[in-house]
Structures are given as C-alpha cells and as structure tokens.
C-alpha cells in the first residue's frame, strides 16, 4: 500500500512551494546586492534538475517529471560569499522500503511521500563573517508537517552577532507559539552537536520538525510560522554580513576558519538528516552536497 494522508494537501504544497521560491529569489537578490557593495559582479547561477528514479518508485512519479519532480540549485562564488548555495526542490514519489520506517508517518507498507522546501548554506570568505544554514520544508506521508530552522556558524564568534541572530528567531517564535523559542532553541542545541568531537558546530539557532497539520487551519498556522522563520533569517543575516565583511584578517584567522570548516563538514556528512533524506530519495547530488565548504583542513 502507498496510502496518502486523508486530507489532500496538493493545494497547500503548491502554496508552500511558491513561497519557498519567492524567498529564494529575495535572498539571492540581497546576497548579490552585498557582492555589489564589495565591488564584485558575482551572481547566482541556477541549475534546474529533475529527480532521478529510485528503487521502488511509482511509475510516473519516482522519475520526477512535470511540476513535482525536481528543483533548482542556485550557486554563487564571490568576493564576500566564498560559496553560497540556495536550493528549492519539490519531489513526489515513494520512499524505499528500508528507509520509509525512519520517516514520520511512513512505513514499508505506506511509503508514498511528497516534499517541498528551501535549503541554504553560506560559507564566507572573511573568517569574521559567520557561516550560516537555513532550511524550511513541508512534507506529506500519511501525515503532513512542517520542519526547518536556522543556525549561525561563526569560525570567530561575536556575542553581539549571536544575540542579534537569536533575537530575530525568538521574535518569529514568540509571535506564533508560546514556548516555541525555548523548545526549538534547545532542539537546535541538541541536534547541531558533533558527538565524536564533543562540540557544537556553531552558536545555535532554532530547529523544529514534525510540526503536524491536523487540518487546513493547523496548516495555515504552521505555514505562517515557517514564513516568519524565513523572514527573520532574511532580516538578520545580511545585517551581520555587512557588519563584518570589511574587517581585516590574517593567516591565523584563516587557519581557524579552515579547521572549523572541517568540523562543519563532519557534521553534515555523518549526522545531518537532510543529507541522508536527499541521498535516499533520489535528490540532486550537487544540491545535497552544496553544504560542504569549498576548502577545509584537518589537523
């Protein structure tokens, strides 16, 4: 069996996808504006892709096609943003039997799914400018839910930057749910941790998942929160970039950044759920691994 949720979420999926694409366009425009301020002509290059067929997929869906079988990978390498990727994808199909049991609302017998979302990772040229990650998504199996978050990853932390980033996310949380910020901040602290190093990969943020939609009204509330997270990110991160991008740095600062990037790569390759989900569902390999830094060192 490949049961869908009792509620047909097709229209809501289309609305979520449209929002993610609009957010991508606004973020990319802002990042390109920062490059212009730095005297750079760097711009995003966009690569559309279609989802490849995966074992056990349903005919007409697993191979992508139509409007629900792929996405767009946006990549820019500039003077300020050494490497930044902004991906939007929308896929429909069936999870492999062995992987389905790890996904909320899915099983080997009920393995149909859909997913739409935006994912962003920015690695910065100047070690004083924090790297950042943000993603939000809407998924359906036999259940329907939102997930996502954002976290700041500075090689050289500044308390005022950390406070500004968290303040923006807290405002988004406080407007949509009592206790959201404390709960999702704690979840981020737990999730963005590298057990074999016994360190966090950054200064945190928020992380939420399985924000389930019992009915259309619940979907509207969760969608509004997810939009607030995206708006909060767009409001604060460019401000932090502009604050730090002109600071002088030397070889020691760069060495700190490159070693920190090694830790970031370890987390994304060993522990990150999004990496595993993309690889297990026939996602675009370049888009999935765009989170990796362009250069890193291990001592």
Q: What's the confidence (pLDDT) of residue 165?
A: 98
> Of 133, 196, 200, 210, which is the active-site residue?
133
CATH number at residue 142: 3.40.1500.10
Please name which of 57, 80, 119 lies closest in space to residue 275, comparing C-alpha atoms.
119
User: What is the full per-residue pLDDT of the chain (299 aa) written as tens digits?
Assistant: 445 555 789 999 999 999 999 999 999 999 999 999 999 999 999 988 776 554 444 333 333 333 346 788 899 999 999 999 999 999 888 887 878 788 877 787 888 888 999 999 999 999 999 999 999 999 999 999 999 999 999 999 999 999 999 999 999 999 999 999 999 999 999 999 999 999 999 999 999 999 999 899 999 999 999 999 999 999 999 999 999 999 999 999 999 999 999 999 999 999 987 787 777 766 677 777 888 999 999 97
Residue 138 and residue 116 in contact, taking contact as beta carbons nearer than 8 Å = yes
Domain ranges, residue 240: 10-291
In a domain, 299, yes or no: no
* Rounded distance between C-alpha atoms, residue 159 and residue 181, angstroms: 19
Question: Is there a domain that residue 2 lies in?
Answer: no
Is residue 297 domain-resident? no
Per the domain annotation, does 156 fall within a domain? yes
Total domains in the fold of the chain: 1
User: Residue 96 has what pLDDT?
Assistant: 77
Q: What is the dihedral of CA 26, 30, 36, 42, to 10 degrees?
A: -60
133 an active-site residue? yes
Residue 178 in any domain: the answer is yes
Q: Is residue 153 part of a domain?
A: yes
Answer yes or no: is 3 within a domain.
Answer: no
> Does residue 298 fall inside a structural domain?
no
- The pLDDT, as a whole number, for residue 257 is 98
């Amino acid at each position: 069996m490949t049961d869908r949720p009792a509620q047909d979420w097709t229209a809501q999926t289309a609305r979520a996808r449209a929002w993610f694409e609009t957010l991508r366009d606004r973020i990319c425009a802002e990042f390109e504006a920062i490059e212009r301020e730095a005297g750079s002509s760097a711009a995003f290059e966009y690569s559309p892709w279609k989802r490849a067929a995966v074992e056990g997929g349903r005919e007409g869906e697993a191979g992508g096609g139509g409007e629900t079988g792929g996405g767009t990978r946006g990549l820019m390498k500039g003077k300020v943003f050494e490497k930044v990727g902004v991906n939007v994808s929308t896929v429909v199909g069936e999870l492999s039997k062995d992987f389905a049991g790890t996904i909320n609302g899915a099983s080997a017998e009920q393995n149909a799914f859909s997913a739409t979302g935006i994912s962003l990772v920015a690695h910065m040229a100047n070690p004083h400018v924090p790297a950042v990650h943000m993603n939000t998504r809407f998924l359906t199996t036999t259940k329907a839910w939102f997930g996502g978050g954002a976290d700041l990853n500075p090689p050289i932390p500044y308390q005022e930057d950390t406070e500004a980033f968290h303040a923006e996310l807290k405002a988004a949380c406080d407007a949509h749910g009592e206790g959201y910020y404390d709960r999702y901040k704690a979840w981020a602290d737990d999730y963005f941790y590298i057990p074999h190093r016994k360190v966090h990969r950054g200064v945190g943020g928020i992380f939420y998942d399985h924000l389930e939609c019992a009915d259309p009204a619940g979907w509207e509330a969760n969608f509004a929160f997810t939009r607030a997270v995206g708006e909060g990110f767009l409001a604060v991160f460019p401000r932090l970039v502009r604050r730090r991008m002109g600071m002088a740095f030397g070889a020691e600062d760069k060495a700190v950044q490159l070693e920190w990037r090694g830790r970031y790569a370890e987390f994304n390759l060993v522990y990150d759920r999004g990496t595993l989900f993309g690889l297990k569902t026939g996602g675009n390999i370049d888009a999935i691994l765009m989170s990796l830094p362009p250069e890193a060192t291990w001592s």
